[in-house]
Amino acid sequence: MNVTEANSVVLRKLLIFTVIMFGFGFALVPFYEKICEVTGLNNLLQADTLAENTQVDTARWVTVELDANTRGLPWQFKPLQSSVRVHPGELTQVVYEVRNNSDREINGQAIPSYSPQLLGKHLKKLECFCFSKQVLKPREVRQMPVQFLIEPGLPTDINTVTISYTFFELGNDNTASLDINADQI
Amino acid sequence: MAAVHDHDIAHAHDHHPTGLMRWLTSTNHKDIGTMYLWFSFIMFLTGGVMALTIRAELFQPGIQIVNPEFFNQLTTLHGLVMIFGAIMPAFVGFANWQVPMMIGAPDMAFARMNNWSFWLLPPAALLLLGSFFAPGGAPAGGWTIYPPLSVQMGMGMDMTIFAIHIMGASSIMGSINIITTILNMRAPGMTLMKMPLFVWTWLITAYLLVLVMPVLAGAVTMLLTDRNFGTNFFNAAGGGDPVMFQHIFWFFGHPEVYIMILPAFGIVSEIIPTFARKPLFGYSSMVYATASIAILSCIVWAHHMFTAGMPVTGQLFFMYATMLIAVPTGVKVFNWTATMWRGSMTFETPMLFAIGFIFLFTLGGFSGVVCAIVPIDIQVQDTYYVIAHFHYVLVSGALFAIFGGAYYWLPKWTGHMYDETLGKWHFWLSMFFFNLTFFVQHFLGLAGMPRRIPDYALQFADFNMISSIGAFGFGLSQLLFLYVVLKCIRGGAKASAEVWEGGKTLEWTLPSPAPYHSFETPPVIR
């Protein structure tokens, strides 16, 4: 085999390797989602299951502040109560209200955010409007519950926490991919 | 081994294009190496002007010179231009010039592709710099182009994404060329373990490049489709995850920092033995250390993300893996020092830069180990401590090695000796002003000054003023380098074939300047 042929062989191998690595970059996406699912790192869109008998710690009060935002869509979004006081371990329900101020049907998806970050570990949500996309007809008003409890394991120096939701608009293109991703997350 | 004879080149002998066409159509590794080096120097000055504008703004507290939006564009583009425009092409330039000469090959394996990999770079640079003039300006979310900012920005971001695609393609083509040249075109008798260390480090670097550059291409492609085609890889609203971008980006990004330092190790490993007049201490351990660094570099990426949210187990793994890299790096520093031990050392400019490299790179390595410690990293994340750390490894590391290599091989490339006095001035000015600029930034970072912000609290004023003075001194000193190089090209004392007394690699057997076509008959390696 002369040098030119030998070179072409190496070239071909390296090009194939490059293409594989390009694919590997994309393969990292399902891989990452799987890891998050297995380790439970990123289950924002899934309901938690409740342990059989949760102790209610009646000696402690935690103030839960509720926050609501919209981003780039003509909706009015607010909690019906700005904060609630709960005992750790106590199942609580709060209600958010959302109103479509426009004359078109809009798909929205709410993404939660917690403060302090640590709350994410100790907050169990049994029901939430953020688990699925919300479709609001023109001028529709909807009241949506969130059912949650804060585990007694929340460090005792934390007395006030914030649960915040932000609604993003989903275009029609995005809807399909949301469903796929929501299943995987 | 078959006769190493490239017919294209023999053909080019007959009618040799001149002027612009010579450079546009050149397939000669020396021409292409020269173009890479000039391109990277122009990019270095461009990125340098951005850095000086940043430092001018930070000279005093408050907003004086540029508005915050433009400041953010400058920090972003400074990083991208220096990494993809200056440091990486400079090393590819060295590889083009030196790899064929050091292994006794007549040219690179794929001469036409070599021409392509260079000529992709200027359009990419134009796209990148042109983003300043796009509506909304250049990307301003930092060189790491994290979403959500990079998903929201104007079309300057799309231009940057395309520029990264093109530069990535150029790097991959260059790497394939280098790997093939090294694997297939060595002179008879030049076994892998007889190769000069510069060739070894480039072989490993080129493998790293084909490993991670396509992953970056994938990441920016996902950004592009998120921005323009309604996908939701990183868009939280659509069920994507911005943190995932950080993982994919740093899977590329961490090997990338070794891509920028391994060839520097190679250059220093050539310079030190020459001026110590001793063979390199621990050659095979150098090779294995380089390979271990490259392998380890692929499993430490998340140490850039300790504050992005990660289980403690993950943090511990990435912390220990990162610290492990200090071991092979320590082996290298030890070997360089041991090479100098009891050598008959002389201190010409290349040697000064190499010793400056060892000293300051090690310092940057130590602050890197400090940053690897999770609790400390959480404290110094995104502060000037990190800025100081990576400028110690990239400026006094990669860049000093590039300067050292340039002085070391300039006589071989031009046939003239450079002006030694001015070269030494260049080194000492760079050394002084570099430390003036960046050493104080450790203190700023430890005191809590955040990076990428155009204004700062009054308590940081003094150190910032010192740093800015240093930066302007450093920037102006580099014009001296330009002058020395131009002077060396135009004339000077005639360089001998050997140039340096202690040079033992193959390029020193060629006359100076190295003939346009070298080693058309392979040399005999004893």
Residue B525 lies inside a defined structural domain of this protein: no
With CA atoms as reference, the chain A residue closest to B214 would be: A22
The answer to whether the Cβ–Cβ distance between B238 and A174 falls below 8 Å is yes
The predicted structure's pLDDT at residue A175: 41
Distance CA B43, CA B212 (A): 23
Give the mean pLDDT per block of 10 residues along chain B (526 residues). Answer: 42 64 91 96 97 96 94 96 96 96 94 95 96 93 93 92 96 96 94 95 97 96 93 82 94 95 97 96 96 95 91 93 95 97 95 97 96 95 96 96 97 96 97 97 96 94 96 97 96 92 91 92 84
In the predicted model, is pLDDT for residue A1 greater than 70?
Answer: no
How far apart (Å, rounded) are the C-alpha atoms in residues B354 and B280?
14
Number of structural domains chain B divides into? 1
Tell me which of A33 and B45 has the higher pLDDT: B45
Per the structure, the complete domain to which residue B208 belongs is given by 29-509
ipTM rounded to 2 decimals:
0.88
- What one-letter code names the amino acid at B195? M
The predicted pLDDT at position A72 comes to 78
CA distance B254 to chain A (A): 15
pLDDT at A181: 41
Residue B10 lies in a domain: no
* Residue linked to tokens 């971001």: B157
pLDDT band at A43; cut points 50, 70, 90: low
Q: Which residues on chain B are in Cβ contact (under 8 Å) with A24?
A: 214-215, 218
Distance (Å, whole) CA B441 – CA A96: 48
| Element containing residue A52 per DSSP (H, E) | none
Interior CA angle at B495 toward B493 and B497, to 5°? Answer: 165
Indicate the pLDDT class of residue A174, thresholds 50, 70 and 90.
very low
pLDDT digits (tens, 9 = 90+) for A105-128: 888 888 888 888 888 888 888 888
* Secondary structure, 3-state, B354-413: HHHHHHHHHHHHHHHHHHHCHHHHHHHCCEHHHHHHHHHHHHHHHHHHHHHHHHHHHHHH
Task: Answer yes or no: is B199 within a domain.
Answer: yes
Handedness of CA B250, B43, B25, B31 (dihedral sign): negative
- Evaluate whether residue B20 is within a structural domain: no
Extents of the domains making up chain A: 1-42, 62-177
Q: Does A51 touch chain B (CB under 8 A)?
A: no
> Are B408 and B270 spatial neighbours (Cβ–Cβ below 8 Å)?
yes
Residue among A1, A9, A12, A28 with most chain B CBs within 10 A, to mutate: A28
Residue of A nearest to B6 (CA): A4
CB B217 within 8 A of CB B209: no
* Mean pLDDT value across chain A: 84
Is B44 within 8 Å of B86 (Cβ atoms)? Answer: yes
> Which of B5, B175, B180 is best to mutate for the A interface (most A CBs within 10 A)?
B180
In a domain, B192, yes or no: yes
Q: Which residue of A has its CA nearest to B187?
A: A3
From the options 1.20.970.10, 2.60.370.10, 3.40.50.300, 2.90.10.10, give the CATH code of A62-177.
2.60.370.10
- Tell me the count of A-B CB pairs closer than 8 A: 118
Model pLDDT, residue A177 = 39
**Residue among B109, B213, B221 whose CB faces A7 most closely:** B109
The CA R_g of chain A, rounded to the nearest whole Å, is 23
Chain B hits for A171, CB-CB cut-off 8 Å, are: 230
**Would residue B6 count as lying in a domain?**
no
Tokens of B389: 């750390």
The Cα B453–Cα A164 span in angstroms is 27
Contact between chains at A22 and B247 (C-beta distance less than 8 A): no
**What is the model's pLDDT at position A178?**
42
B148 vs B232: CA distance, rounded Å: 11
Q: Is B451 a catalytic residue?
A: yes
CATH number, domain of B202, equals 1.20.210.10
Residue A182 has pLDDT above 60, yes or no: no
